[in-house]
Structure 1
Amino acid sequence: MCVTEVKRQARAERTRASLLRGAREVFEERGFLDAKISEICDRAGVAYGSFYTHFADKDAVFAELIDEMLRGLLTVMRAEALNGDGPEARIARANRAYLRAYEKSARLMAVFEQVATFSPAMRETYLRAWGVFYDRQERAIRGWQEAGLVPADIDPRTAAVALATMIGRTAYTWFVLGRPHEDGDVDQLTRLYCRAIGI
């Protein structure tokens, strides 16, 4: 690749990154429906036509932002070992890590929730992302059942869905809706989770 091509590619990557930053700001401030491509370009400091060099439409730039956000959440989740110092300690670490990661992206997560109610593509992304969380928690609960730590009459899938939803909706009410909470409330979530599965 020649020097000119390298410079052109670097410039294109900078423009794309600027558009993504600008889009995130606009989506977080205005929501999806009221966001305009012209404002995204203004925030990014690029010409209007440059947007279409990188993205087909508003949906495409939003989808990329959501993919990036979800990769971050999944990285946090996957960094949490499935085994270690016992189920309660693992659940506590996972809950705290998830809540920290959610808080960092709460404004974009709120827009994601909004768009998933009317966009079939975003709804599918939303359900797929939650499916990963459900699967991981289901595997953990099954493993604890095999070790004799969780009663056999608890259905691992139902428990995983219910308890992941409890943590997710709590995060939404705290960080999106602004419900006051204290550090001890996180401990309470872990206690509720553990008691629900008989730990």
Structure 2
Amino acid sequence: MTGQRRESTEQALLRAARTVFADKGFFNAKITDITREAGCSAGSFYTYYENKTQILDALLDEFTGQVTAASLASRSGSPYEQISGVVGAFWTAFRAHRPEMIGLFGLRLTDARYATRWREVRALGVSGIAAQLVEFERSGCRLVGEPQVLASALLSMLESFAWTWIAEDGDLGVPAPGDDEAIATLSRMWFAMLFGPQPDLGDG
């Protein structure tokens, strides 16, 4: 099998796994469901993965890669634009990877390895946010606490809000926010904590 064919088959399996996890949930999904969706044989699956938790790991790697790349790309512009870039990167990636995030959240309650994996995913986010906060502090912003502790609290806010409105059905009696509204709400709360009540959004 050529390298290009191998990559194509593996990408098909990843796309299929995301679809099946979204439709049936991680715990109810079968490997045969994934290979059927991918249009390949069951044997092809085992060329790349030993079990469905390994394909979940690969999808989680995509999630962390997407968030990290988008967050790094947002490290310019005004403070509000930088904050909005980080929030938007997390929200967009969480929505795109909703099935595997639900799988990870479930597994971490019963599997110590996935509890550790989730802490590792969080650690990447905390370190990135903390680095941003340090840069803000150097430019004159007075932080209300230690950067890493603040970063942990801010990431927890992002996770909880994303879980409530993307993974679950939202809060009772609360109109569902669109993605733009959700990102703007979180970004303005974050900005207000650091710089004051309202960002200067210019003419936009």
Give the TM-score category using the shorter length.
0.7 to 0.9
- Judge conservation of contact 2:26–2:99 (CA < 8 Å) in 1: no
Task: Pick one of 66, 69, 72 that aligns with 2:66.
Answer: 72
Seq. identity, %: 24
2:40 aligned partner, one-letter code = V
After TM superposition, the structure 1 stretch with the greater mean CA deviation from structure 2, 92-101 or 72-81, is 92-101
- Using the TM superposition, give the Cα deviation of residue 96 of structure 1 relative to its aligned residue in structure 2, in angstroms: 2.7
Counterpart of 2:66 in 1: which secondary structure? helix
Task: Pick one of 68, 91, 114 that aligns with 1:122.
Answer: 114
1:115-194 map, 5 Å: 115-151=107-143, 154-179=145-170, 180-182=176-178, 183-194=180-191
* RMSD value, Cα: 2.2
- Measured against aligned partners, the alpha-carbon deviations of 1:144-183 in whole angstroms (never above 9, x if no partner) come to 22333124x5221111110111112111212121321154
1:155 aligned partner, one-letter code = E
1:10-25 map, 5 Å: 10-25=4-19
- Measured against aligned partners, the alpha-carbon deviations of 1:79-130 in whole angstroms (never above 9, x if no partner) come to 111x532x23321332233323322222332222222222333222221121
Q: What is the alpha-carbon distance in structure 2 between the residues aligned to residue 186 and residue 11 of structure 1?
A: 38
Q: 1:186 to 1:11 in 2, by over 3 A?
A: closer
Task: State TM-score, norm by structure 1.
Answer: 0.82
Query: Could you list the runs of 5+ residues in structure 1 that have no partner in the other structure?
Result: 1-6
Q: What is the alpha-carbon distance in structure 1 between the residues aligned to residue 181 and residue 22 of structure 2?
A: 29
Runs of 4+ in 1 over 6 A off after TM superposition: none
Q: 1:47 to 1:77 in 2, by over 3 A?
A: same
Q: 1:198 to 1:64 in 2, by over 3 A?
A: same
Task: State TM-score, norm by structure 2.
Answer: 0.80
- Using the TM superposition, give the Cα deviation of residue 131 of structure 1 relative to its aligned residue in structure 2, in angstroms: 0.9
Q: Which is helix-richer, 1 or 2?
A: 1
- Measured against aligned partners, the alpha-carbon deviations of 1:41-67 in whole angstroms (never above 9, x if no partner) come to 222222222222221122212211221
Q: What is the alpha-carbon distance in structure 1 between the residues aligned to residue 160 and residue 44 of structure 2?
A: 38
1:98-113 map, 5 Å: 98-113=90-105
- Using the TM superposition, give the Cα deviation of residue 134 of structure 1 relative to its aligned residue in structure 2, in angstroms: 0.7
1:149 aligned partner, one-letter code = C
Which residue of 2 is the match for residue 35 of structure 1?
Answer: 29
Query: Could you list the runs of 5+ residues in structure 2 that have no partner in the other structure?
Result: 171-175, 197-204
What is the aligned residue count?
Answer: 190
